[in-house]
Amino acid sequence: MSDFIYLASQSPRRRQLLEQLGVRYELLLPDDDEDTEAIEAVLPGEAPARYVRRVTGLKLDAAAQRLRRRGLPRAPVLCSDTTVALGRTIYGKPEDERDAARMLRELSGSTHRVLTAVALQNGSRRHEALSDSRVTFAALSPRQIREYVATGEPMGKAGAYAVQGRAAAFITRINGSYPGIMGLPLHETAQLLRACGIAA
């Protein structure tokens, strides 16, 4: 039984959340030549929950191959992916500031879902979970959107916002897992870790 796990994520928020659980981890980040963007492409007509589960599974497959290729000590590997959805429309990371502003305009004054899938590979066994939360935004003025986009915070974030950042001022209601919206649902993650014999 391992006393640590590998975290296959570049997100500082996921590291922070894992530290909150008191779990020892090593980062298992992609090589420079790995095409991580291609993994996140949405298939035509794909439902948000199916999409986020599939992408998390592909990220975990890539991380498991990375572990073998590098000849690292064996330990469970944790992967996670978050997407924002309004109806069946999936909002990934914005391509640029204009795209970020478009997303925020569309999310303004409505309730959207934040789906975070978590997967943990332990030897040949894989454990998976899905966190599904709802977030309601107040109506945002063009100026609010412009000023928020100018901070740079929306870039690299699903749905073009960070719940733990300045966008918290836009949120009127949350129903679900706050850490799940941040990128790693702690209740579900702890359950997966315990299933692998890791205290969390």
Q: What is the pLDDT of residues 182-200, one digit of tens each?
A: 999 999 999 999 998 888 7
Q: What is the CATH number of the domain that holds 48?
A: 3.90.950.10
Is 132 a domain residue?
Answer: yes
Question: 186-195 vs 12-20: helix axis angle to the nearest 10?
Answer: 70
pLDDT at 127 over 80: yes
**pLDDT tens-place string over residues 7-44:** 999 899 999 999 999 999 999 999 888 777 788 899 99
1: pLDDT confidence band, cut at 50, 70 and 90?
low
Q: Is residue 19 in a domain?
A: yes
What is the DSSP secondary structure assignment for residue 178, as one 8-state letter? H
Q: How confident is the model over 107-119, as a mean pLDDT?
A: 98
Asked if residue 200 is part of any domain, the answer here is: no
What are the pLDDT digits (tens) for 59-83? 999 999 999 999 999 999 999 999 9
**Rounded distance between C-alpha atoms, residue 113 and residue 131, angstroms:** 10
Kindly tell me if the per-residue pLDDT of 155 is higher than 90.
Answer: yes
Q: How many domains does the chain have?
A: 1
Query: What amino acid positions are annotated as catalytic residues?
Result: 81
Q: Does pTM top 0.85 for this prediction?
A: yes
Closest residue by Cα to residue 59 from 22, 27, 29, 86: 29
Whether 114 maps to a domain, the answer reads: yes
Structure tokens at 18: 């894992």
Element (H, E) at 148: helix 142-150
Scan for tokens 């796990």, then name that residue. Answer: 5
Domain span including residue 89: 5-195
Query: Is 42 inside a domain boundary?
Result: yes
In a domain, 105, yes or no: yes
Q: How confident is the model at residue 48 (pLDDT cuts 50, 70, 90)?
A: very high
